[in-house]
Amino acid sequence: MKVWIVLFLFLLFFQTLGAAHPVHNKPAFDKCAKFRTGIFDNKCQSGHTSRFKRYASYQVQEYDSMFIKEKIIWNGPCTHTLILMETNDPEISDYIGNTIKVKMVKVEKNKYQTLEEGSSGKSSSCTETKIGELESKD
């Protein structure tokens, strides 16, 4: 009986310790919040690479001499929908208005992997690395 009491007190101590130090219990969305704005390098499984600047409600992606401007709708802490608003890339200009659902997975210190599903149902994955913050406009 004494062993059970000691075990119970031991477990209670660690439970209390965990509650007193919430840093160890960070929810997943805290990890994603730092990726809501900034400058990112993007490398996709398809071989596509680009750099983009993400603002609060849109992002602008640049590659070669092309650009893509997409509206961002945050659906959850680690999920968002991109809507193609504008581009000078003739290969995708017919897709203006289409959406891509993005889920951030494998979130690390300065990068995350995406699972993406386009309007057509096609899925892809990219690694997005945060390389800087946006300059503040004072």
How many structural domains compose the chain? 1
What CATH number is associated with residue 41?
Answer: 2.40.128
CA atoms in the 13 A half-sphere facing the CB of 129? 6
The three-state secondary structure class of 22 is helix
Task: Say if CB 115 and CB 19 are below 8 A apart.
Answer: no
Q: Is residue 136 part of a domain?
A: no
Q: Is residue 59 part of a domain?
A: yes
Mean pLDDT of 69-88: 97
Query: Residue 61 gets which letter from DSSP?
Result: E
CA torsion, ordered 74, 102, 126, 56, to nearest 10 deg: -20
Instruction: Report how far apart, in Å, the C-alpha atoms of 6 and of each of 3, 19, 37, 74 are.
Output: 5, 20, 49, 48
Instruction: For residue range 89-117, list pLDDT tens digits in order.
Output: 999 999 999 999 999 999 999 999 999 99
The pTM of this model reads 0.77
